[in-house]
A = this chain, B = another copy of it.
């Protein structure tokens, strides 16, 4: 089962062996594994080596440890939510509201650090900065600022922005967004935001950041938006994929 003469590390062999036992059901979720000391004795290896094998499986979420009790097989992995990537427009249409926009700001700027980082480009590299008020049924719903690397998303114009940036990206530039990570937090409206959203300063708002990626993992877009908390709820549906 474990061969010390192979050029494959012992901890790796042991980890693979345990992983197989989990996969084929010999070790069932919730079941406890032999202790680290038992593994060490059984295979005549050091406890630290056995521990390293278990570490690998713990890091990958196959096992979990409880101090004083033991190491256990983790429940099946619960994985990524599916579901469509939502632009504001798609989102509002899905809610049965009529989306519209008011362009506040459109220019190319050198990327400051906090924009360059999520887009994985160099600081001061040119980016489009587009700020819009987003309305649903003519009521202000959110302020949204999009950032696109100007070297990736080329040739953006005000006309394109007012139509559909994503349609332009897909049809003209063959850039398809494949995945996105969103961060949602609750906060309080700044005075400027409050004015644009027609709420009072200090009213609750929802801040959503989205980084959208292409197939190859290149970040294509970074969006920061502030939604009126009284008019917007974020919904997400998640499914276990096994």
Contacts and interface: CB of A to CB of B under 8 A. Distances in A.
Interface residues of A, number: 52
A204 B188 CA distance: 7
A38 interface: no
Contact of A239 (B82, B120, B184): B82
Interface string A34-50: 00000000000000000
A216 interface: no
Interface stretch (A4-12, A153-161, A175-183): A175-183
A112 interface: no
A80 interface: yes
The DSSP consensus for interface residues of chain A is mixed
A237 B240 CA distance: 13
A181 B79 contact: yes
The quantity of this chain's copies bound in the complex is 2
Given A78-B85, A78-B90, A170-B75, A185 B234 contact: yes
A186 interface: yes
A181 B233 contact: no
A238 interface: yes
Contact of A185 (B59, B75, B78, B206): B206
A83 B241 contact: yes
A141 to B, nearest CB: 13
A8 B166 CA distance: 38
A59 B57 CA distance: 12
B204 A187 contact: yes
B180 A238 contact: yes
